Structure 1
Amino acid sequence: MKIRKLDHRAQPELYHLLTQQTTVNLFLLERLFLKGIKSWGYEHWFGAYDKNKLVAVSLVMGKMSSKEPARLITVYGSLDGCRLLGEHAARQGGTLIIVGPRKESDALWAGLGEPPLRINKDQQLYSCTSVIKGPMLDIRTAQDDDFEQLVVFSAEMMSEDLDENPLQTNPEHHRNIVKDKIKNQRTWVGELKHNGTKEIAFILDIGFPIPLGVQVGGTFVPKHFRGQGLSKAGMRSACSKLLQSSREVTLHVHEQNIPALRCYEGIGFTRQHPYRIAAVKQP
């Protein structure tokens, strides 16, 4: 088995591999539709080939230099191929975060040399193809005026999910990510009145919708708005809009987060596939 860096010539075979499990691979398919396969920049695709057949793939994201770890790697395909992709990534500096289908992610981690993890959470991938009727929250795309609030709220969300506050570890990078999401209309918000003024009460990050589907994440409700069913109402509204142009909406959620699981199942999400998110402990 050999590892190759992929370019535009591999797009048909990559599409064929990923569409073997479309729901599982929506994130990768979104990136493929959006940018194609590029051999430069901060994102790189690598493939594991067995007798000239593509059997596994990795997307390496946020790779700033050859000496630094990638920000994130996600993989899919044969477990042997994923392990070899991990070995290749280890020689290139490794990664900070692993996310993706559970068995493939665990094989990648093994190939990386089983580095110590500060976070290792079992997740489930959920999919929604129709929405169960119920209360809905008016939502809109985030605007420039929302920027400072979203910088704080998205940092709080990451602190809760990854035990890491990006405003402490890399504030400039975090602010740039939030700004980019607003610019590209990838953050949606819902508002409610609080102390006489409208405030952001629900936040959701949207992937890049394609006809096959769209993955969402980064769901957050500020603490003083929790317990009012806003996650359910906001997600119901978002899915209703997204399903007008995409076949399904997916998200992954921690298995131990029972309130979130009940929330999503009450909207119409169904469990599809075991997932993993892991963060590598840094020296």
Structure 2
Amino acid sequence: MLKLLGAKPLSGKDTAHVLRVLDADPVASCMIAARVQDSGLDPRSFHGEMWSRGGPDESLCFYGANLVPLLGSVDDLRSFADRACRGPRMCSSLVGRAELTLPLWDMLEPDWGAPRELRSEQPLLATSTYSVFPPDPLVRLVHADELDVYLSAAVAMFIEEVGVDPQANDGGRGYRRRIASLIAAGRAWARFEDGEVIYKAEVGSQSASVGQIQGVWVHPLYRGQGLGSAGTATVVDSVVRSGRIASLYVNSFNWPARRAYSRIGLEQVATFTTVLLD
């Protein structure tokens, strides 16, 4: 009967069931699994909804700041699209496995309009072993009193990668809080030279089994010197040392980054798609 009625939000009583399903695809589901592990499915703390059509074993989709399809058939994706179009759009992007995200976007585009950017092929990389590339001993955890200088590098990275200023909407308060929370959690890494960040990365999402690295950036004046490989090797080794799989995803056209990650020993386990919306 539930299938006939379309996608429905799940509730706190479904948390354990959802976690079991996400655990079957731990690398691709890391962003959402980390959120469910931290907050359960209570909408007051989850900051979004988890949808299903027929139960978590058959279909799953997260809807919040991002729209993330996690499991389902074409009919399930159509039910997610129908539900997403019922009210004002909440999300700023779609992201997830390409085989789910691309068809979901095809269903949404007639209502939501053309995307700002479609990144259809993003290799999802992972490793459970220490890097085969020598790590950079000068890359370390960022201290709380280094927030301002680290934030400047994070903003530069975001603008270069996403094409928008993360400080535009609220004067940067939300983005500053996000970066400060990662620093406080021991999940922001950098190499400093003369009081300036020349390499940075964060473990943006961390589930019980996976640490997803994001925001990898090398200062333009220091590129081509191997700092990206060595710095990311340091972060990968830290994630692996914690007993987790180290993961990240990269644009298919970013060949310097792909070569750097290959040198480290990260291997492709899936393909992501990201749809950036205005």
Report TM bin, short chain.
Answer: 0.7 to 0.9
Hey, what does 1:168 align to over in structure 2? 168
Hey, what does 1:65 align to over in structure 2? none
Hey, what does 1:67 align to over in structure 2? none
Dislocated runs of 4+, deviation >6 Å: none
Q: Which secondary structure state, in structure 1, belongs to the residue aligned with residue 173 of structure 2?
A: helix
Hey, what does 1:136 align to over in structure 2? 136
1:142 to partner: Cα distance: 1.7
Instruction: For 1:120 and 1:209, locate their aligned partners in 2 and report how far apart those are by CA, in whole Å.
Output: 26
Instruction: For 1:76 and 1:270, locate their aligned partners in 2 and report how far apart those are by CA, in whole Å.
Output: 21
Hey, what does 1:156 align to over in structure 2? 156
**Normalising to structure 2: TM-score of the pair?**
0.87
Hey, what does 1:72 align to over in structure 2? 66
Does the 8 Å contact 2:31/2:206 carry over to 1?
Answer: no
1:243 to partner: Cα distance: 0.5
Point out the more displaced range, 93-102 or 168-177. 168-177
Q: Which secondary structure state, in structure 2, belongs to the residue aligned with residue 55 of structure 1?
A: coil
The one-letter code of the counterpart of 2:103 is A
1:177 maps onto 2:178 in alignment: yes
**Normalising to structure 1: TM-score of the pair?**
0.86
* 1:197-216 map, 5 Å: 197-216=194-213
The one-letter code of the counterpart of 1:78 is G
The one-letter code of the counterpart of 2:53 is Y
Between Structure 1 and Structure 2, the one with more strand by share is 1
Deviations 1:213-242 (A, max 9, x none): 211111111212222211111111111111
1:41 to partner: Cα distance: 4.3
Deviations 1:81-123 (A, max 9, x none): 2332222122232221111111211233234344310111121
Q: Which secondary structure state, in structure 2, belongs to the residue aligned with residue 112 of structure 1?
A: helix
Hey, what does 2:115 align to over in structure 1? 117
1:226 maps onto 2:223 in alignment: yes
1:35 maps onto 2:39 in alignment: yes
The number of aligned residues is 267
Instruction: For 2:84 and 2:243, locate their aligned partners in 1 and report how far apart those are by CA, in whole Å.
Output: 33
The one-letter code of the counterpart of 1:110 is D
Q: What is the alpha-carbon root mean square deviation over aligned residues? A: 2.1
Structure 1 residues 11, 45: CA separation in 2 closer, same or farther (over 3 Å shift)?
same
Structure 1 residues 221, 132: CA separation in 2 closer, same or farther (over 3 Å shift)?
same
Which of residues 33, 45, 52 in structure 2 aligns to 1:48? 52
Does the 8 Å contact 2:97/2:270 carry over to 1?
Answer: yes
Q: Which secondary structure state, in structure 2, belongs to the residue aligned with residue 21 of structure 1?
A: coil
Structure 1 residues 208, 96: CA separation in 2 closer, same or farther (over 3 Å shift)?
closer
Q: Which secondary structure state, in structure 2, belongs to the residue aligned with residue 242 of structure 1?
A: helix
Does the 8 Å contact 2:41/2:49 carry over to 1?
Answer: yes
1:54 to partner: Cα distance: 4.1
1:102 maps onto 2:98 in alignment: yes
1:17 to partner: Cα distance: 2.1
Structure 1 residue runs without a partner (length 5+): 62-70
Identity of aligned residues (%): 18
Instruction: For 2:244 and 2:203, locate their aligned partners in 1 and report how far apart those are by CA, in whole Å.
Output: 15
1:236 maps onto 2:233 in alignment: yes
Which of residues 249, 252, 257 in structure 2 aligns to 1:252? 249
The one-letter code of the counterpart of 1:35 is S
Structure 2 residue runs without a partner (length 5+): none
Deviations 1:176-204 (A, max 9, x none): 2222222333312122x3xxx34322111
Which of residues 261, 265, 273 in structure 1 aligns to 2:262? 265
Instruction: For 2:205 and 2:249, locate their aligned partners in 1 and report how far apart those are by CA, in whole Å.
Output: 16
Does the 8 Å contact 1:190/1:202 carry over to 2?
Answer: yes
Point out the more displaced range, 176-185 or 227-236. 176-185
Deviations 1:32-64 (A, max 9, x none): 2222222224622322222x5642222223xxx
Instruction: For 2:187 and 2:20, locate their aligned partners in 1 and report how far apart those are by CA, in whole Å.
Output: 27
